[in-house]
Amino acid sequence: MLLTADYHTHTTYSHGKGTVLENAIRAKELGLKELGITDHGFSHPAFGINHRKLPNLIKDVEEAKKITGVNVLTGIESNILGQEGFLDLKEKDYQYFDLFLAGAHRFIKFKRVSDYFNFFLRNMATSTLRKKPSSSLIKLTTKAYINAIKKFPVDVITHLNFLYFSDAEEVAKAAADYGTYIELNAKKIHLTDEELYKVDKTGVRYLINSDAHTVDRIGDTKLVEGILDRVKIDMTRIDNIEGRLPSFRFKKYKEKM
């Protein structure tokens, strides 16, 4: 399997170890056509990018493009802020970004106290104690993912169900309807084989991403390859392998603004 592009990588602008240029040089060495620089969103107090650093990030991306010839995209891994699906990338900031990823993360600044308790703490307790998630928690988390997809022009849902518990099949249905990709994350197991089998039946399209926090992991697909050996999903719906490049929802949305 030949990876064409890696759309989920982190840099020193959040808690990655490499610079934008170092990531881009590694992408060129691997023969990748495109690379997403997708540091964590603004509501992450410890690891998120902030507005003050945005001009430097954009400058670094442009420089990396010129030096390497790789199409480097200024992206973000936005945080889901609760069951209403609000994200921490606002429309006023769309002009600065080429790529819009969204995922559920821990220890971020939630919009409401109720989301902190119901969305974050309940999921955290369930995962930490390795409990079976309740039907009400699954319903709440599913609503959060689906609302994010419906309300915002999200390109990719990252590591679906990692530390958060949703009905992945229902989330995938919404993603398929709205043109949002489901990520197959090569850094961590986030969907069970059974979940992925059900997700595939929805017809949703995928991207394989490294979620690299170090330069040496860019383009790494080993974990996903192992999963694909077990779950025979439709490989023609993975849009960043074998020379293919995806069609992104966010770009189309911005062209109509």
Calculate ∠ Cα 153-156-108, nearest 5°.
Answer: 90
The pLDDT tens digits for 14-33 are 989 999 999 999 999 999 99
Provide mean pLDDT across the span 150-175.
Answer: 98
Residue numbers of the domain that contains 226: 5-256
Distances (CA, A) of 83 to 87, 136, 257: 11, 12, 27
* Beta bridge pairs of residue 73: 36
The pLDDT tens digits for 112-156 are 999 999 999 999 999 999 999 999 999 999 999 999 999 999 999
Cα separation, 231 vs 225, in Å, equals 10
The pLDDT tens digits for 22-64 are 999 999 999 999 999 999 999 998 889 999 999 999 999 999 9
Model confidence at 93: pLDDT above 90: yes
Q: How many CB atoms lie within 10 A of CB 93?
A: 14
User: Count of domains in the chain?
Assistant: 1
Residue 186's CATH number: 3.20.20.140
Provide mean pLDDT across the span 161-181.
Answer: 98
What is the pLDDT, as a whole number, of residue 256?
A: 93
